[in-house]
Amino acid sequence: MNNFRFYNPTEIIFGKGTIAKLKERLPKKAKILLLYGGGSIKHNGVYDQVIAALNKHRVVEFGGIEPNPDYSTLMKAVKEVRKKKIDFLLAVGGGSVIDGAKFIALASKYEGDNPWHLLSHSEARNATSALPLAVVLTLPATGSEFNRNCVISRREKRAKLSFTSDLVFPQFSILDPETTYTLPVKQIRNGIVDAFIHTTEQYLTYPAGGIVQDRQAEALLLALIECAPLAMQTDPVNYDGRANYMWAASNALNHLISMGVPGDWATHGIGHELTALYGLDHAETLAVVLPWLLWYKREQKKEKLLQCGERVFGVKTGTTEERIDRTITAISAFFHSLGMPTALSSYGIDPDEAAAIVEKRLVKRGATRGEYNDIDGPAAAAILRMSR
């Protein structure tokens, strides 16, 4: 096991009716910027609950944060923060709104020349203060409500960059599973697959002596498989199904299972390219990459694939190669059971063409990923060519 540092001070307030707790939890005298996305919260009752809880607070609204939040949008919010003397951010939404709020929290206190440098020049690392931030989660998937990660896009530069900073841990996050009741089934499916793949990316590498971490990762995979059919129910919705999906997604990326063990974020790396090129949902891109990445790296990942097969999918017999085959097939079959395709061709995308373009983009940037940092442009292309 490698040395590690674990730190996660975000307070989770979980359960039915918890949005009302905003009233007591947000500082009485704070001037709050309420951040949200495309406005779905105005139709599903969440906005009304938030406003009701904050009827004694001073609130300024800033809506319209898009999926893959854009730098230009967020800088408008930063301007608003300064003009209106905002001292607390409240993100109501999913990963995009939360990540947007994290950037706004840092950028509002940034004293350098160019706030983009927080991302492009890793200046977030040197930041010493940020606006405090809280979350009402409405779309469980990214785990952003329970971590210090932030991914921001800048469309004019075709860039999608990230930072991590202890300063942007949400002070608290409210997770009410009932906020998911009005989500389209496709979003639930996406969230489950996203959480599943976040987990495999911290687990399907090579054995590193993390007995506890491996078991904790397997626990999340097993929990996601177990709760998925319940979470997908819509008529009627199943509270415990939604609650477990929500809690599993938060746990999948709160850093715990990655402590002291290697990670392989190549699926995310390649997936981001596919979103940029073809506009697929984030989870859709992950699902058309992961199974093929596992096939491609089956030799390097052999021990962990066998372990995953046995412990998560009950694959205990057969030759090594057969067991690996059946494990990867079982992962794909789980995605299919949720209606999630695992091949680029399912979206009418030519795998050879996608492979060629992604290879060129990655080679140009010199981007590599994987637990051995060996998944480069050509490797990504080989993986994508299999996704048919």
> Interface residues with a second copy (CB under 8 A)?
1-9, 11-18, 209-216, 218-220, 222-223, 226-227, 239-240, 243-244, 247-248, 251, 259-260
Q: Residue 134 CB, nearest distance to a second copy (Å)?
A: 13
Least distance CB 325 / a second copy (angstroms): 24
For a second copy, give the closer residue by CB, 115 or 241: 241
From the CB of 254, what's the least distance to a second copy, in Å?
10
State how beta strands 159-164 and 149-154 pair.
antiparallel
Closer Cβ to a second copy, 54 or 212, answer by number = 212
- Give the distance from CA 25 to its chain's centroid: 26
Neighbours of 277 (CB within 10 A): 15
Beta bridge partners of 35: 62, 91
Smallest gap from Cβ 16 to a second copy, in A, equals 6
- 3-state SS, one letter per residue, for 82-95: HHCCCCEEEEEECH
Residue whose CB is less far from a second copy, 40 or 216:
216
Please identify, using beta-carbon distances, which residue of 252 and 380 lies nearer to a second copy: 252
What would the 3-class secondary structure string for 168-189 be?
HCCCEEEECHHHHCCCCHHHHH
Closest CB to a second copy among residues 9, 279? 9
Report in angstroms how near the CB of residue 385 gets to a second copy at its nearest.
Answer: 36
Distance of closest approach, residue 123 Cβ to a second copy, in angstroms: 22
Min dist CB 342 to a second copy, Å, is 24
Whole-angstrom Cα distance, residue 371 to residue 374?
8
- Whichever of 12 and 90 has its CB closer to a second copy, that residue is 12
Given the complex with a second copy, which of 228 and 379 has the nearer CB atom?
A: 228
The CA distance from 324 to 330, in Å, is 10
Q: What is the DSSP letter of 375?
A: B
What does the DSSP assignment read for 189-226? HHHHHHHHHHHHHTTSS---S-HHHHHHHHHHHHHHHH
250 or 267, CB closer to a second copy?
Answer: 250
Kindly list the distances between the CA atom of residue 159 and the CA atoms of 152, 229, 252, 290, 349, in Å, as whole numbers in the listed order. Answer: 8, 36, 26, 23, 22
Query: What's the min distance (Å) between Cβ of 42 and a second copy?
Result: 25
Q: What tokens appear for 376 in the block? A: 């480069």
* Min separation Cβ 37 and a second copy, Å: 25
Between 218 and 371, whose beta carbon lies closer to a second copy?
218
213-220 long-range contacts, CB within 8 A, separation 24+? 213/1, 213/256, 213/257, 213/258, 213/259, 213/260, 213/261, 214/261, 214/307, 216/256, 216/257, 217/257, 218/308, 218/311, 218/312, 220/195, 220/248, 220/251, 220/252, 220/257
